[in-house]
Structures are given as structure tokens and as C-alpha cells.
């Protein structure tokens, strides 16, 4: 979902994102230190609980250490109760079922937080914990607006998502003007800019944006009905009933933790309302006029500070560091990536890191080394290499980049 934040016209959002990205480098190093410094030696022997998660899907999960996301933080909390460390196995979820097939069901991870506990989802191949949250679509309105039935939406413009249940529902009401967006973030931006009167979109995303960049300007009320709300739970492959039971016991103790996390991520907490479809049973429309809304929107969105941006360059640059990085590289990494990083197979040719990732080269390197890419055969090196070694290898790699 962040991809639309990247692309969108919202400069505010973009600088917020940059700020997060900028902090990321130091934080990942900190995470590595934490892992290596023996904090929790007792759990080091436990096999980590591997959680499948999308690296770019806030508010649900992300690879930004500052905001791991609701699902990932719940997973980490479950791990703490069970006394097991957790690791994230990153995979993109543009096509949800395909990613479940190729990760959870292919043994790449042990559990996936936040899948719909519904027999229609993937059948008996996937089993579920107790439900953690009720997630679904919500009506997003200004504070002064009340919507209790579809009648209140008559003559109004309503932002919906492409191929969503609300789009299908409102398509049956010709007197409601739908404005369609591919992503819920785009719909929220249109609402904030008073280009639409109401948004009927994915609630958790609306809540997160409302909290983080829109100064809580909007009311968010989940909507009940078929195809509107789902119980989100932890999913496991069939055959992992024992793990599921253990996770269920952990969940029983996490009520307050989950409530705090909901608050942190702006998750909508109101009871789902039933949208009345009857004529004449609701009060007169109470929507504020579009003009008034436009005036509200003229006030600028909260400006995110430019924030400190680290350049992504480490400070270790001496010849000795380069030589040491090269030595470690040739002793360990060269096995796959080639001596002195000379590798003809482009896919694993690390001389192309800058060409491929540009300003995100360091970030991508650190992320890959400390978390691994199990699906592609890259192990997690965080328990083998010291932070210093990881950094020196990076310094060496900077000297061999080609365009």
C-alpha cells in the first residue's frame, strides 16, 4: 500500500515516508546488535517463529523497524508469550492467495498473521487461530457528518475502491455518485482534498492515514453486511494444529497488548453499523455542504518535517576496512557471489547493487544480510557475522559497483 504513498501527489506523505526510510539504517544496525549481543540467550536456542509478512503494507506489516505494523507486532507479542524469537519472512502480497501458496504452504514460514478465517478463503489447506481483529470496510466522513443509511448518500460523491464490496453495493444505487480509486490511500487523499463527500473504503488503511497524516479529522465507522467484515486470525498450514493451539493460548493473554496496538495504528474500533437501505426511515441528510468541506480542506495538512536524512553511507572508509570487508566477503559470501564479487550470473552479481537499488542500496543490503531471502536461497547471516563485519563487507562492495 505504501507504493501509492510513493506515487501519489501527497508531498506530506512522501516526506513522512522519507523520514522513516532515513532512520532505517541505524535502526537495522541496532536490531542486529540486539540479536548478536546475547539479549535473550535463553531464547536463542529456540527455533524462531517465522512470520510471513509483506514488507510494504502498512498499517499491517512493514520492514521499517519503527513501524513493523499491526500484524507483525501482534506476531512478535505472541512470540514473546511463547518464549520464542520471531523473524519476518518477507513476501509481497499483491496476489494474496498466490503468496500464501508460495510461502506459508510451501514451508517458507510457520505462520501468517492477518488472513481471513473463512472457509471460502483457501479451503482446508489453511487453518486458523482464534480471531484477533474484525477487519473490513468502513464509511469515512467528516466529524460533522452523520450517515446511517444509503439514503444519506443520495446525491453525494462517494470514494470506493476498484473491485471492492462497497463498489458492488453502491453500483446498485444510481443516485449515488461513485468515484473509483485503485488504492484506499488515493481515496483518503481525495476525501481530505474535498474532492468527494464520503469514502467507503478499507477501514484499517483509512484509520492509519487518519491518525498519522490527517490529524484525526475524520470519523471511521465499519459497515456490517456480506463481504464487508472478516475475522482476521493467524493462519497456519494444515497439520500445524499443535502450534495453532499454542498460539491460541498466547492470544488469550494479549487482550490489552492488542488494544494498545490498535490505538498505535489507528485501527477503527467502532462497532460495525448496518447501512439501512430502506427509503424514508432515516433522518434528512446531514452531510455538510461540499463548499464547507472545501474550506476545511484549504487548511494545509499537517506538515511533516523534512527530518534528518542519513545518506546511507557508513563512516567506515579506510583502506584497511575495505581490505577487511573483502577478506570476509571472500571467505563467506564468495561461495555464491563470486571471489571479489565477480559473478557472471546477474541475479546474484553484487556489483550491480547500486545499479539496481540506487539510493536504497545500503538499506537493501543490510536488510537482505540480516533477514535473508529464504525463498531465493539467501540465508539470514545475522547470527554468523558481526555488525562490524556486515558493515565492512558493505564498504568493500561500494568499491566494486558498476553501472
Q: Does residue 93 bind another protein (CB under 8 A)? A: yes
Query: Which one of residues 10, 68, 75, 184 is an interface residue with another protein (CB under 8 A)?
Result: 184
Distance, CA of 176 to CA of 170 (rounded, Å): 7
Q: Does residue 95 bind another protein (CB under 8 A)? A: yes
Q: Does residue 1 bind another protein (CB under 8 A)? A: yes
* Count of CB atoms situated within 10 Å of the CB of 86: 21
Identify which range of 36-44, 198-206, 244-252, 325-333 contacts another protein by CB under 8 A. Answer: 198-206
Report how far Cα 289 is from the mean position of its chain's Cα atoms: 35
Q: CB of residue 27 vs another protein: minimum separation in angstroms?
A: 23
Q: Does residue 227 bind another protein (CB under 8 A)? A: yes
Q: Which of residues 130-169 bind another protein (CB under 8 A)?
A: 135-136, 161-165, 167-168
Q: Does residue 97 bind another protein (CB under 8 A)? A: yes
What do you get for the CA distance between the two ends of the chain, in Å? 30
Query: Which one of residues 43, 352, 378, 400 is an interface residue with another protein (CB under 8 A)?
Result: 352
Query: Which one of residues 11, 66, 118, 259 is an interface residue with another protein (CB under 8 A)?
Result: 118
Phi, psi of 57 (to 5 degrees): -145, 50
- Nearest one of 82, 135, 50 to 245, comparing CA atoms: 82
Query: By C-beta, is 38 or 377 nearer to another protein?
Result: 377
Query: By C-beta, is 62 or 86 nearer to another protein?
Result: 62
Residues 6 or more apart whose CB falls under 8 angstroms from that of 67 comprise: 20, 58
Q: Does residue 355 bind another protein (CB under 8 A)? A: yes
Q: Does residue 182 bind another protein (CB under 8 A)? A: yes
Residues 6 or more apart whose CB falls under 8 angstroms from that of 302 comprise: 12, 213, 214, 215
Identify which range of 52-60, 190-198, 261-269, 271-279 contacts another protein by CB under 8 A. Answer: 52-60
Task: Say how many CA atoms lie within 13 Å of 145 toward its Cβ.
Answer: 24
CA geometry: angle 79, 54, 254, nearest 5 deg: 30
Beta bridge partners of 90: 53
Q: Strand 157-161 and strand 177-181: pairing?
A: parallel
Interacting residue ranges for another protein, rule: CB under 8 A: 1, 3, 54, 57, 60, 92-99, 101, 115-116, 118, 120-121, 135-136, 161-165, 167-168, 171-172, 177-180, 182, 184, 202, 204-205, 226-227, 230, 346, 352, 355-356
Amino acid at each position: 500500500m505504501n507504493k501509492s504513498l510513493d506515487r501519489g501527489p501527497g508531498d506530506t506523505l512522501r516526506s513522512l515516508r522519507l523520514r522513516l526510510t532515513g532512520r532505517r539504517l541505524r535502526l537495522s544496525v541496532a536490531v542486529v546488535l540486539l540479536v548478536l549481543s546475547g539479549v535473550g540467550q535463553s531464547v536463542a536456542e529456540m527455533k524462531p517463529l517465522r512470520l510471513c509478512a509483506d514488507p510494504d503494507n502498512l498499517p499491517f506489516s512493514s520492514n521499517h523497524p519503527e513501524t513493523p505494523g499491526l500484524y507483525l507486532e501482534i506476531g512478535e507479542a505472541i512470540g514473546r508469550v511463547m518464549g520464542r524469537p520471531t523473524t519476518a519472512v518477507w513476501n509481497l502480497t499483491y496476489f494474496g492467495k498466490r503468496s500464501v501458496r508460495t510461502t506459508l504452504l510451501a514451508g517458507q514460514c510457520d505462520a501468517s498473521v492477518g488472513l481471513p478465517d473463512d472457509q471460502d478463503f483457501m479451503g482446508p489447506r489453511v487453518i486458523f487461530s482464534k480471531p484477533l481483529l474484525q477487519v473490513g470496510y468502513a464509511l469515512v466522513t467528516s466529524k460533522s457528518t452523520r450517515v446511517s443509511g444509503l439514503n444519506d448518500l443520495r446525491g453525494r460523491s462517494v470514494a470506493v475502491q476498484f473491485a471492492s464490496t462497497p463498489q458492488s453495493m453502491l453500483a446498485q444505487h444510481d443516485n449515488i455518485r461513485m468515484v473509483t480509486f485503485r488504492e484506499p490511500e488515493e481515496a483518503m487523499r481525495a476525501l481530505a482534498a474535498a474532492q468527494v463527500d464520503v469514502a467507503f473504503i478499507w477501514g484499517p488503511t483509512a484509520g492509519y492515514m487518519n491518525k498519522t497524516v490527517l490529524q484525526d479529522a475524520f470519523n471511521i465507522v465499519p459497515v456490517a453486511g456480506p463481504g464487508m467484515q472478516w475475522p482476521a486470525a493467524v493462519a497456519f498450514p494444515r497439520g500445524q494444529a499443535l502450534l495453532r493451539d499454542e498460539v491460541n493460548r498466547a492470544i488469550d493473554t494479549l487482550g490489552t497488548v492488542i488494544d494498545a496496538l490498535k490505538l498505535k495504528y489507528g485501527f477503527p474500533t467502532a462497532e460495525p453499523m448496518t447501512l439501512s437501505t430502506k427509503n424514508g426511515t432515516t433522518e434528512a441528510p446531514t452531510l455538510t455542504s461540499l463548499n464547507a468541506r472545501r474550506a476545511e480542506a484549504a487548511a494545509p495538512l499537517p506538515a511533516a518535517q523534512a527530518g534528518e536524512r542519513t545518506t546511507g553511507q557508513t563512516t567506515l572508509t579506510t583502506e584497511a576496512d575495505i581490505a577487511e570487508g573483502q577478506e570476509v566477503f571472500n571467505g563467506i559470501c564468495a561461495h555464491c557471489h563470486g571471489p571479489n564479487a565477480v559473478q557472471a550470473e546477474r541475479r546474484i552479481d553484487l556489483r550491480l547493487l547500486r545499479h539496481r537499488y540506487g539510493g536504497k542500496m545500503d538499506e537493501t543490503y543490510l536488510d537482505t544480510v540480516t533477514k535473508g531471502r529464504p525463498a531465493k536461497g539467501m540465508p539470514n547471516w545475522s547470527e554468523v557475522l558481526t555488525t562490524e563485519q556486515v558493515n565492512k563487507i558493505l564498504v568493500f562492495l561500494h568499491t566494486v559497483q558498476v553501472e
